[in-house]
């Protein structure tokens, strides 16, 4: 590797070196606050070095990684999500367990795995990044091991994840047998110049890869783990799974979907159309039946991946911009929603039942107002970030004349509005004990910290900024994905 290559992968080197530094430091001194600050500084340094690296010139580092403006933008998103989770986790983890410091090491390892996935140009690097992410998530989900629900959630994530990896590896083997390479660019070029219908080996390999990727994205019918894991995982970890974990895999999917002309393979195209439709309906309809806010958001996240898949299938000039902009708004909104749950959660349990939020506006009016904004954004209401993202998803489908997917998308957006409004109504519904409300009105939230409050304020600001004046963000997204269009 040349010195330029080392500068290019500097964000990864900082993350990996930071992980080792924290582990060595913990052998000398254990401090929750110090570890959190170091983790935040390491992530901030990685983000800061991304623009100064030569990645914007689209540089390939060996045959495994490719650094361009697209990869850089998604790495900023996933590293930023990890930074937000680290800050929110400080108040949440405080006093819950004797060993809080290793939690931040695992967050950094997960962020590194996401970064490798985003920059992958080879099945080997994709697998390494995926395993680095997955193994870290196994432990993060079950980190609070004193509670059985966390252990159960960890096992429910571990077993399907291991199975999906087996499918992914077998699919990679079939693709290698046909193409003679594991390089994504070469595979995409070969597939784009070959009729997939006449290549059973390639079709079977791609189908098995779809199974492996479908698990990470929680596409139906690979979604069964999602509600139980979301409910059982610590609240900040759930926010990380819903955003950075899924966003990294979808970024890789988008990069190579734009090269392969899936329209040439009608059976594969129809399979994806059916998966998108079923994913949207299953996610929204099952969310209507839930009384647990984390489970509602879990099924909601399934539906949102279905929305993204419709734009992916639409292709054309709108697809890359629509998917990336929607993921940006989804990151901001989902991190904010789980941030509210994190701040309100107590040491005994997460603040996740719908009844827990009854009359929240009288106890914590600011948090209730902020939570309302994030829920309205998830529903795609105007003047919020979610509306801009959903507008571009609609535009991508209109531009490609995907009328069936567009109609299904509109129907499911209306269904989704119902359960978001159900939570909002609960927030403003008076409690039956006015005396208790008046006594707790000025009591701080259970897991509140000044740093966490500052991050939540920034997320709320971005929510309104993107919704009211989206032009700067749209221009940035278009510039970042221009190489894919």
Is residue 138 predicted with pLDDT exceeding 80?
Answer: yes
155-179 pLDDT per residue, tens: 888 888 888 888 888 888 888 888 8
- pLDDT confidence of 224, banded at 50, 70, 90? confident
CA dist list (Å): 394 to 272, 326, 480? 18, 11, 21
Enter the tokens of residue 270: 């129809």
Between 279 and 5, name the one with better pLDDT: 279
- pLDDT confidence of 375, banded at 50, 70, 90? very high
Is residue 263 predicted with pLDDT exceeding 70?
Answer: no
Q: Is the four-CA dihedral 164, 168, 174, 178 of positive or negative sign?
A: positive
Among 17-26, 85-94, 207-216, name the most confident range: 17-26
Q: Where are the beta strands (DSSP E) in 64-113?
A: 65-67
Q: What is the mean pLDDT of residues 79-93?
A: 90
pLDDT for 441 equals 47
pLDDT for 328 equals 92
Is residue 78 predicted with pLDDT exceeding 90?
Answer: yes
Q: Which of 166-180, 225-239, 245-259, 431-445 bottoms out in mean pLDDT, i.e. has the lowest?
A: 431-445
Please say whether the beta carbons of 165 and 138 come within 8 A: no
Enter the tokens of residue 169: 């590896």
- pLDDT confidence of 84, banded at 50, 70, 90? very high
- What's the Rg (C-alpha) of the chain? 22
Is residue 14 predicted with pLDDT exceeding 50?
Answer: yes
pLDDT for 442 equals 45
Enter the tokens of residue 35: 């570890």
pLDDT for 483 equals 66
- pLDDT confidence of 315, banded at 50, 70, 90? confident
């Amino acid at each position: 590797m040349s010195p330029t290559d080392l500068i290019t992968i500097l964000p990864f080197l900082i993350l990996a070196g930071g992980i080792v530094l924290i582990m060595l430091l913990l052998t000398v001194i254990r401090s929750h606050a110090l570890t959190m600050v170091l983790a935040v500084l390491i992530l901030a340094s990685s983000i800061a070095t991304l623009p100064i690296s030569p990645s914007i010139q689209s540089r390939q580092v060996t045959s495994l990684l490719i650094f361009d403006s697209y990869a850089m933008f998604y790495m900023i998103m996933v590293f930023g999500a990890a930074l937000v989770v680290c800050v929110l986790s400080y108040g949440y983890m405080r006093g819950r367990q004797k060993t809080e410091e290793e939690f931040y090491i695992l967050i950094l390892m997960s962020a590194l795995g996401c970064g490798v996935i985003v920059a992958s140009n080879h099945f080997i690097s994709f697998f390494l990044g995926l395993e680095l992410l997955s193994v870290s998530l196994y432990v993060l989900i079950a980190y609070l091991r004193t509670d059985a629900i966390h252990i159960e959630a960890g096992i429910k994530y571990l077993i399907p994840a291991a199975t999906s990896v087996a499918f992914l590896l077998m699919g990679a083997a079939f693709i290698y047998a046909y193409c003679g390479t594991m390089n994504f660019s070469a595979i995409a070029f070969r597939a784009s110049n070959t009729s997939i219908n006449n290549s059973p080996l390639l079709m079977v390999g791609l189908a098995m890869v779809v199974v492996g990727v479908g698990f990470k994205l929680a596409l139906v019918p690979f979604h069964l783990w999602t509600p139980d894991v979301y409910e059982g995982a610590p609240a900040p970890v759930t926010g990380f799974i819903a955003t950075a974990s899924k966003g990294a895999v979808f970024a890789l999917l988008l990069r190579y979907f734009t090269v392969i002309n899936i329209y040439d393979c009608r059976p594969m195209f129809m399979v994806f159309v059916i998966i998108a439709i079923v994913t949207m309906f299953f996610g929204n309809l099952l969310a209507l039946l839930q009384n647990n806010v984390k489970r509602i958001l879990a099924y909601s996240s399934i539906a949102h991946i279905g929305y993204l898949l419709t734009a992916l299938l639409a292709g054309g000039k709108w697809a890359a911009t629509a998917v990336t902009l929607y993921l940006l708004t989804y990151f901001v909104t989902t991190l904010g929603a789980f941030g509210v749950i994190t701040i309100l959660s107590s040491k005994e349990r997460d603040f996740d039942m719908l009844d827990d939020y009854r009359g929240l506006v009288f106890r914590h009016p600011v948090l209730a107002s902020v939570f309302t904004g994030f829920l309205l954004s998830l529903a795609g209401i105007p003047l919020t970030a979610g509306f801009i993202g959903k507008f571009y998803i609609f535009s991508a489908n209109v531009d490609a004349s995907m009328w069936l997917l567009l109609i299904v998308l509109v129907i499911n957006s209306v269904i989704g509005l119902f359960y978001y409004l159900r939570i909002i109504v609960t927030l403003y519904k008076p409690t039956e004990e006015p005396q208790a409300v008046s006594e707790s009105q000025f009591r701080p939230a259970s897991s509140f910290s000044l740093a966490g409050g500052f991050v939540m304020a920034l997320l709320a600001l971005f929510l309104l900024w993107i919704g009211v004046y989206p032009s700067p963000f749209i221009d940035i997204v278009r510039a970042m994905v221009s190489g894919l269009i």
